[in-house]
A and B are shown apart, each in its own frame.
Chain A
């Protein structure tokens, strides 16, 4: 056992002038002073541990809170219709009809994934899945949004292989289909990769649970994995400062994941919900027991008493502060009525899950924590969990932005022959950001659960919710950091629009949004300006589209050296589809279908993949976006899906029409004959723009010849621009992409060039 003597409340009162290592724990002098004022005394070391982690940027959102409020304010009546639980809970919940609800959220696990890519990414999956469970839902899908450094940098393979193996190991072992995501490479992420993880859960309306500690006398029960010394960087500072023991403990700062324990925990929690044995379940993530107890108590109506020595430990030498701060994975905290405790314990025992009763709900209004009979914490829980500091950080328009925006890609040299265009198409197809991602996605299981209707490389993932009716949801995420660097307001809206479009092309109706806002340091006024612009753009965009943000996450301090990452607001859009049998895949599967392009093409190459890949150029202004046009397009696609008029639909985004065509012929090996002259003539653009422009509100669709008249009629009736630009051609070894009058590329060549890029660096 530990020989440490805990710093008690009594001791804190008796030694008011004791020096405390608040700065090393990340607290500012005024924050420390505020804690002393709240308590009317100095904090105990345990209280200091709790405040320091709960008031950290990660847990308190102290720099972002004032901006995030917009998501709750810029809301129309229609946006509230389907919203069952909004922002502020573990995850948002949306009514998808037929008595079903869907809960979903995306979160970051960026910094741990650079230090220890495998465990960082693995526990990122584990953490977001526990958020979903705590809403009373069964997790049914995951996705990851990954951004790495330059593909040819010597350190990138370490991070990529670690992260992908970690996601594969954890997600597959958990039995959750991985149905999509993103992978980008850019040197701005070299020393700070972004590893975002998204999970979706489904539940019946009546199974919805919120985590709060209510009902005096209800038991507080910790169950799942034992508490160990992982993920407690900060606590070792306390330990080494407060005690003269054997010096600072050397423990991993990154948590270690055990997906088997989590899988068992999922089944155990779902059984507890089903049998009505819990009032609520709170997951333990960042800040561990500190967070779970203070949030449960703050969200409840009374107080809580916890006996910390009851926590089951993996390492019996842990100090009280370490136990409070430990981020050991696969743990949950339940609120249980005393009369149901025996039944609760029986279910937990059935699943061989370890558990201990820590304490109970009280009416004191205080969170009181004892350790071997001594009071080491006595706080108002809302001062820890809710009413943390809020900062209005200085904001400054980046002066370099004017020059960047003036440096348009429109004057860059363009191809002057078909042969040159061909070469550029191939270079784009093989470029790291557009190349085939099978090397990564082949390591993920999408079959498990048997409900996956669409998954990578389709534009959206789609899961059947109800096996009888076919009701399902679609989900897609997007963020283009290059656009956001050029204009964060526009960039955030473009990310929203692309995710929205990706859901629409699958045939689903977009209904809700989650976001993971990855930015540099909030202490940098230029970064804060980027953040402010991006949040405004996203909130305004959601209001225009009338789909609410239901939850998400902010990750600051993402930078390589002094260089902040591109602003990277990852936006996830969830859609509903009445019957997944009517889903629309992204690529054509048969010969002899007509190929149509929906939407107008403008000469928009600023920030494009073409500018980046062919000219190593980033400058100008991102493409024009009109969200009402995007809504028209989505409506058109839903109409087409209901009448089964389109065989495939693929969003045009990075790499423009050229990349969309390449992906469409590669997918099922069915070639295409395409002509550009109608686009060039109608839209007044040249061949380079026709192929590589990234104009918004455009989709490539294939239509059975029999449905031609009806399809064009539908577009005309809705006044949406449509052009027939080609036909699908033969499949097999001789399949080609023939862009008439310009070039012909064998599908085998496109595929080979697209497939070889990732294995070359990571295989």
Chain B
């Protein structure tokens, strides 16, 4: 099981995503934005960061990177793709996921241990969660406010494409408390919080049990590993 992690200029959390994949039991494969090659990986992660400084719109320049042609092609064929934070923004810019992101309503960058509810556990990235489970995943962004037109919101809510919702506090006034969405097929998932930062005891978010002990992020990766193994069996 090989999962590719793409490095764009300005990617920041790609090593963390690779570590998470390793801890979940798969082999991380470093992919480069400038290559037209996804090295035949089984799944793809677009990591967090500030690609190209996010100086235009967050994720917009990266969504036109050479490798994105292959990513779009693979996604359309059903290859699992996860976009984390800046990766989510790229997937939205690339129209692989519905909606868009604007500046947080309070205008600040915010970092916090964020409670989320799993709204759909039928995607390839969420199947190891209980439906409706509450999880804690670190959040850190400046442009994380999810928006979409009314029709799109209605459609994705109706289709069960809202994958994660903020619980307790909506950190940026995202519409309908939406933290993450999937495509209709459920192989492409994007979310603003960072599951790769909740995979190792001592380095994750605080939980009710102990500081920095949260491991909820691991299930994103174990889900996709399990689903890929099942599909290949």
- Partner-B contacts on A (CB < 8 A): 165, 168-169, 172-175, 258-261, 263-264, 350-352, 442-453, 464, 467, 580-581, 583, 585, 589, 668
Contacts and interface: CB of A to CB of B under 8 A. Distances in A.
Contacts of A453: 202-203, 212
Contact of B111 (A350, A445, A464): A445
B37 interface: no
Contacts of B12: 173-175, 263, 448
B140 A172 contact: yes
A451 B203 contact: yes
A447 B53 contact: no
Nearest to B19: A450
B211 interface: yes
Contact of B197 (A259, A261, A450, A580): A450
A119 to B, nearest CB: 15
B10 A444 contact: no
B78 interface: no
B140 A264 contact: no
30 contacts: A168-B108, A169-B109, A172-B50, A172-B109, A172-B142, A173-B12, A173-B53, A175-B49, A264-B9, A264-B10, A350-B34, A352-B9, A442-B111, A443-B110, A445-B111, A445-B140, A446-B111, A447-B16, A447-B111, A447-B138, A447-B197, A449-B15, A450-B15, A450-B16, A450-B19, A451-B203, A453-B202, A464-B203, A585-B211, A668-B206
B52 A260 contact: yes
Nearest to A164: B108
Contact of A351 (B9, B50, B54, B211): B9
Nearest to B206: A668
B9 A452 contact: no
A444 B200 CA distance: 21
B110 A442 contact: yes
B155 interface: no
Interface in B195-233: 196-197, 200, 202-203, 206, 210-212
Contact of A168 (B109, B210, B211): B109
B10 A260 contact: yes
Nearest to B50: A173
Contact of B16 (A443, A448, A585, A589): A448
Contacts of A450: 15-16, 19, 196-197, 200, 203
Contacts of A467: 19
Among A448, A451, A583, the most chain B Cβ lie within 10 Å of the Cβ of: A448
A251 B52 CA distance: 26
A449 B196 CA distance: 10
Nearest to A455: B212
Given A260-B53, A447-B111, A589 B211 contact: yes
A444 B138 CA distance: 12
Given A259-B50, A447-B140, A448-B16, A173 B10 contact: yes
Contacts of B110: 442-443
A352 B52 CA distance: 11
Contacts of B15: 449-450
B13 A448 contact: yes
B103 to A, nearest CB: 12
Interface in B1-22: 9-10, 12-13, 15-16, 19
DSSP majority for the B interface? Answer: loop
Interface string B93-123: 0000000000000001111100000000000
A350 B52 CA distance: 14
9 smallest CB-CB distances across A and B, nearest first, come from A260-B53, A175-B12, A447-B197, A450-B16, A173-B50, A445-B140, A168-B109, A443-B109, A447-B138
A446 B112 CA distance: 10
Nearest to B34: A350
A596 to B, nearest CB: 20
B52 to A, nearest CB: 6
Contacts of A442: 108, 110-112
A258 B194 CA distance: 24
Interface string B32-59: 0010000000000000011011110000
B89 to A, nearest CB: 14
Among B10, B16, B138, the most chain A Cβ lie within 10 Å of the Cβ of: B10
Interface in B140-176: 140, 142
Interface of B: 9-10, 12-13, 15-16, 19, 34, 49-50, 52-55, 108-112, 138, 140, 142, 194, 196-197, 200, 202-203, 206, 210-212
Contacts of A583: 202
Given A448-B140, A464-B203, 11 more contacts: A174-B12, A259-B50, A260-B10, A260-B52, A260-B55, A263-B10, A444-B111, A445-B111, A446-B111, A449-B16, A668-B206
A447 B139 CA distance: 9
Contacts of B212: 453
A589 B210 contact: yes
Contacts of B202: 453, 580-581, 583
Nearest to B10: A260
Nearest to B171: A442
A733 to B, nearest CB: 14
A450 B199 CA distance: 9
Nearest to A667: B211
A581 B49 CA distance: 27
A259 B53 contact: yes
Contacts of B210: 589
Nearest to B16: A450
Contacts of B53: 173, 258-261
Nearest to B138: A447
Contacts of B111: 442-447
A40 B32 CA distance: 56
B100 to A, nearest CB: 20
Nearest to B198: A447
Contact of A260 (B9, B109, B140): B9
B71 to A, nearest CB: 20
A720 to B, nearest CB: 27
Contacts of B9: 260, 263-264, 351-352
Given A175-B12, A448-B13, A589-B211, A260 B50 contact: yes
Nearest to A587: B211
A352 B54 CA distance: 16
B10 A452 contact: no
A444 B108 CA distance: 10
Among B52, B111, B211, the most chain A Cβ lie within 10 Å of the Cβ of: B111
Contact of B194 (A165, A260, A447): A447
A443 B108 contact: yes
Contacts of B140: 172, 445, 447-448
Contacts of B142: 172
A447 B206 CA distance: 12
Contacts of A443: 108-111
B16 to A, nearest CB: 4
Contacts of B52: 260
A445 B108 CA distance: 12
Among A173, A264, A446, A464, the most chain B Cβ lie within 10 Å of the Cβ of: A173
Nearest to B113: A447
A335 to B, nearest CB: 25
A444 to B, nearest CB: 6
A443 B202 CA distance: 21
B43 to A, nearest CB: 20
Nearest to A452: B203
B206 to A, nearest CB: 8
Contacts of B10: 173, 260, 263-264
Contacts of B194: 447
Contacts of A264: 9-10
Contacts of B203: 450-453, 464
A264 B203 CA distance: 26
Contacts of A449: 15-16
Among A350, A442, A446, A581, the most chain B Cβ lie within 10 Å of the Cβ of: A442
A585 B210 CA distance: 11
Nearest to A668: B211
Contacts of A451: 203
